[in-house]
Structure 1
């Protein structure tokens, strides 16, 4: 049971926090500040922060799929 919990925790930290990291890189802030802001926004607005986080994660994923960086013409 404990191993399962740590596996889920590791997966969420590895995959989930990347959204905050990318937003922080764009804004020139620390990722910790962005994560804390999402947590406070979620508690204050009763879930709106979490919904916003999921929307941004979805939007960034779609953007990555559409705008892939190709190094040469042969990568098509």
Structure 2
């Protein structure tokens, strides 16, 4: 019976902490755009123009290397 005197306040504290974290997340706009993060890996729109050019040039040079190694293997 004495364990209830420990568990009830502990449960109330845990619920209060969980509610505090939830309301903090709502106030800091964590739930505003749920789909953007899922699409962010598909598009490089968040990169500056310089990094985007570097990324596309490195991708094209890597495909050229694989094409040239494939032609050497034949």
TM-score for the superposition, normalised by structure 1: 0.31
Greater RCO between the two (CA within 8 Å, min separation 6)?
1
Larger radius of gyration: 2
Which structure has greater helix proportion?
A: 1
TM-score for the superposition, normalised by structure 2: 0.32
